[in-house]
Homo-oligomer: A and B are copies of this chain.
Amino acid sequence: MAKLAIGVDLGGTDIKAGVVDDAGRILSRIKRPTEPERGRRAVIENIAEAAEAARTEADVPWRRIAGVGLGSPGVFEMPRGLVRNSPNIRCLEGHELRQPVQRALNRKGLTVTLDNDANVAAYAETWIGAGKEKQTLALFTLGTGIGGGLVLNGEVWRGAWGAAAELGHQIVRPDEPARASGTPGALEDVASATALVGSLKEAVKARKRTRLAKRVRAGEKITARDIFDAAKAGDALCLKLVNEAGKFLGIGVTNMLHILNVELAVFAGGMTAAGSILLKPIREEVRKRAFPLSRRHVKILFSKLGNDAGLIGAAGLALHTRAGRRGTR
């Protein structure tokens, strides 16, 4: 019988959970509210209930569940797994997360595995996604901010005290002041969805022409998606902004080649809806800056698993860490 694990993808609004088999197939999928406003105990209770609901939904007994994997945003200080930073679920900060969830599940012998959401997504992509058969991969998650996950030689790389793979905090514009990310000059502050929308607003303020100008001036909510759509429809300013973001993402990929010599860079998150209009300038920049050996071999792709990467990767880590086949370090 196939080995099974429960994967839990903890977000600021929702908890997604599902039973996943050892081929990475999702057998059930449920969603529960996170309710961070109700405090830490409630969040932990909700996680345990989501795991239980996923199991019930898949109609499998607990004895078939090899472990529970939990992917969560934030920085966890290892080896204890203390939550150092969790911007969307502040109530978790300063406390351990893995042990309390394990206690709330209250199943003897059942282990909970915890990792950063981008790490588990990176793991999922090497397991059954865009990086299948690859051992060494950098994942960039493009959304409000830019997160990252690294898989080196088939294992999630967490670094000395759990703060590695913050790929959006690479410094690519050293002379810029500190902005939203807190790291002066960070990639996140020039190439995230937030940064893209910010650049558009600045350009409109500077009276640059764009079909989005009227909406910006009217104070309408503009998303990165709007900018991609305008760029695809021929808006020159929007196309320039997308190219600029892509250029800096390409610099980020080049750094991953020069520093780590990854085989593959994968982009995930909302911004990948842009499609080739974003992928093209990324690839062009890598062609300009990377060593011939690297730029010839490297693959630069979008995530294959999309929103399921967190759930699948969390379950995968739970399955493989227990089995000792693949681990985290």
- Chain A positions within 8 Å of B, measured between CB atoms, are 75, 77, 84, 135-136, 148, 150, 152-153, 157-167, 169-174, 183-185, 247-248, 251, 254-263, 288-291, 293-294, 297, 329
Q: Indicate if the CB atoms of A160 and B173 lie closer than 8 Å.
A: no
Interface pair A261/B172, CB less than 8 Å apart: no
CB–CB B288/A184 < 8 A: yes
Contact B163 A294 (CB under 8 A): yes
A167 vs B255: C-alpha distance in the bound complex, in angstroms? 9
Instruction: Name the contact of A162 in the complex, choosing from B75, B169, B258, B261 (C-beta under 8 A).
Output: B261
Known: A136-B159, A184-B289. A261 touches B153 (CB 8 A): no
Of B77, B183, B256, B329, the contact of A258 (CB 8 Å cutoff): B183
A297 touches B166 (CB 8 A): no
Q: Roughly how many angstroms separate A329 CA and B260 CA in the complex, as a whole number?
A: 12
Give the oligomeric copy count. 2
Whether B259 and A163, one on each chain, are in contact in the complex, defined by CB atoms closer than 8 angstroms, is no
- Quote the shortest CB–CB distance from A202 to chain B (angstroms): 18
Chain B residues with CB under 8 A of A329 = 153
A84/B167 contact (C-beta < 8 A), A160-B135, A251-B174, A261-B161 known: no
With A288-B184, A289-B171, A289-B183 as given contacts, are A159 and B260 in contact (CB-CB < 8 Å)? yes
The chain B residue sitting closest to A190, CB to CB, is: B174
**Given the contacts A184-B289, A258-B183, A248 and B77 also touching, CB distance less than 8 Å:** no
Question: Hey, which chain B residues are within 8 Å of A257, CB to CB?
Answer: 163
CB of A84 within 8 A of CB of B157, answer no
Residues A293 and B260 in contact in the complex (CB < 8 Å), given A184-B288, A251-B171: no
Kindly list the 6 A-B residue pairs having the minimum CB-CB distance in the complex, ordered from nearest. A159-B261, A164-B261, A169-B258, A160-B263, A166-B258, A163-B261
Contact of A170 among B159, B163, B165, B255 (CB under 8 A): B255
In chain B, what residue has the closest Cβ to A256? Answer: B259
Please, how many angstroms separate the alpha-carbon atoms of A247 and B185 in the complex?
13
Residues of B within 8 A of A162 (CB): 261
Chain B's nearest CB lies how many Å from the CB of A252? 9
- In the complex, the chain B residue whose C-beta lies closest to that of A153 is B329
Closest B residue to A158 by CB, please name it: B261
Minimum Cβ distance to chain B for residue A93 (Å): 12
Chain B contacts for A260, CB-based, 8 A? 150, 157, 159, 164, 259-260
**A155 and chain B: residue at smallest CB distance:** B153
For residue A171, which residues in chain B have a CB less than 8 angstroms away from its CB? 172, 251, 254-255, 258, 289
A262 and B160 form a contact (CB under 8 A):
yes
